[in-house]
Amino acid sequence: MIHVGIGYDIHPLVEGRRLVIGGVEIPHPKGLAGHSDADVLMHAICDAILGALGEPDIGHFFKNTDPRWSNAASKLFLQEAARQVQFHQGRLVNIDATVIAEAPKIAPHLQKMKVNIAEALGLNLRRVGIKATTNERLGAIGREEGIAAMAVASVDLPE
């Protein structure tokens, strides 16, 4: 039976941090604030997968108060989400996600992001969809104060 989960994440842009989205370091004067590498795309995908499994969100598995996860690569979180799918005797069917950022331009990095995410999840590249959009200069994202991502995951689980 196919189960679907939704994930969303947002982080503020701050000086003094690297900007990592989808496992790709993107040249930009600001990076995303967070306990780990603050990769909004990977975090949203994790939450989507965990939601499809009926599990709690990423913070349940990787607490932002645990020093083990300080500056950790979010690829580790995706790999754990994939392990959770196996634990539930499921099969990850596909991922679809959107990064919402006014700047920098995300489109030039989408293919590498897809590769990183597919590898971390053990998925065929064709089963990972990633898009980018702006917020049309509206709100905090439009003012370049932060970057967000949303994702949907489908998981085939036994009944």
CATH number at residue 83: 3.30.1330.50
What is the per-residue pLDDT across 25-71, written as a single tens digit (0 to 9) for each?
999 999 999 988 999 999 999 999 999 999 998 888 777 777 676 77
What is the per-residue pLDDT across 59-106, written as a single tens digit (0 to 9) for each?
887 777 776 767 788 999 999 999 999 999 999 999 999 999 999 999
Listing from the earlier edge strand, what are the strands of the sheet with 128-133? 30-32, 2-15, 146-156, 91-100, 128-133
What is the per-residue pLDDT across 41-51, written as a single tens digit (0 to 9) for each?
999 999 999 99
Give buried/exposed letters for 13-27 (b at 16+ CB in 10 A, else e): beeebebbbbbbebe
Structural domain harbouring 124: 2-156
